[in-house]
Amino acid sequence: MGEEEESALLLSRSKRSSSTFTYCILLLIASMFLLAVYFSSSATAKLHHPVVILISSDGFRFGYQFKAPTPNIRRLIQDGTEAESGLIPVFPTLTFPNHYSIVTGLYPPHHGIVNNVFFDPLTGQQFTMQSHEPKWWLAQPLWETVLLNNLSAATYFWPGSEVHKGPWTCPTAFCQPYNGSVPFQDRVDTVLNYFDLPSHQIPSFITLYFEDPDHQGHRVGPDDSEITQSVARIDAIIGSLIQGLEQRGVFQDVHIIMVGDHGMVGTCDTKLVFLDDLAPWIQIPRDWVQYFTPILSIRPPPSVDPAHVVAKMNEGLNSGKVENGAKLKVYLKEDLPERLHYSDSDRIPPIIGLADEGFKVEQNRTGKKECGGAHGYDNAFFSMRTIFIGHGPRFARGKKIPSFENVQIYNLVTSILDIKGAPNNGSDSFPDSVLLPPA
């Protein structure tokens, strides 16, 4: 073979090799593109129905989000919708009444949980935070509503979620009996695992509850460095949830609603009102008092006129002779300000006392000196406000909305899930002012 023929053969082989190499590269690029499209589409297709994760950070007072660097909470705010001046809790601003108002859309007299501790006046039985009998828990919470609409729900702690009522039986796979020792990360991991299920098995509604920063707030008040550290931990756990949803390709498709149940205010041993100081006007026996502070609840025996008790107590409190007397105002429950929505239940004792912000009521002087934090006060106090953040397809990016009461959240969730809810105290039109139209 001549040199020219050999060169031509080599050139031909080179061209064929080059063409083969180019073809392989193009095939590889096409395969990678198809794989990317497949995984992207499968992630997007992972959610064939709207999903809401309702998160409660107990005692997260409005403004706590500025106490520490909170990049994950700030991300939800910047890319979502925020109540600009905070979420308004229902009265009393206590944990159980507010958590149940959030998921029923009802004020406490209508859903039955009028305090953290109260009595049935007919049976004398006591409700505590460990009471799971359906007779206490009236109304229809969201997990029950969701099931009645042929969807599925999951709860990782929420007051009332352990109660077997209607179609809800607190199923083992989708309902966790309360255990405060469970690490926050374990709670998040369980919720994330729901998104590894086949699409039709992913719950439409999920609750997720954290005890902090309420736990620290009671011990040290709202201004201590412990609160700063607690807020940073909550932000980190929210970051873990976001990261897990992103890894599964569903973060932008899930609706996250982050709220608290109430705020927190500092208290100290100089801010006390003692019932025994009213003795010159009227004796208030210990067994008349069902709850001391900051919402004083008194049920005198049937032989005693509640109106007489209220008149004599206020006479003493206004006399100028009772230490901090002016910081407590006592009412017949039917005379409470109407905005409190706190009279229409026989579970509410006939006499209610409202302490001023930061003041506490005790029976007598014990000599104990303590400073810490409390809540339960009039929901008009700004210190009782908490947070509302909504993130997801139906929430506008960077939107600020006015403060609103938490009874509106029930209708917000049913609107996102496009299901029929139970009658409630929220406004039917409220979701339209907050949510974007469905895609």
Radius of gyration of the chain (CA): 29
In sequence order, the 6+-apart residues with CB closer than 8 A to the CB of 144 are 165, 166, 167, 168
Strand, helix or coil for residue 259: strand
The H or E element spanning position 291 is: strand 289-291
CB 434 within 8 A of CB 414: no
Which residue's entry shows tokens 């929430």? 395
At 355, list the tokens: 């302490």
Pairing of strands 272-274, 360-362: parallel
Using an 8 Å Cβ cutoff, are 105 and 425 in contact?
A: yes
Dig out the tokens for 134 from the structure: 């359906």
Task: List b or e across 296-310, with b for residues whose CB sees 16 or more CB atoms inside 10 angstroms.
Answer: bbbbbeeeeebeebb
**Residue among 70, 81, 95, 414 flagged as catalytic:** 95
Catalytic residue flag (residue 155): no
3-state DSSP: the chain helix, strand, coil percent, rounded to 5? Answer: 40, 15, 45
- Alpha-carbon distance of 324 to 268, in angstroms, equals 13
- List the structure tokens of 413: 């969730």
Residue showing tokens 């395969």: 31
Catalytic positions are 95
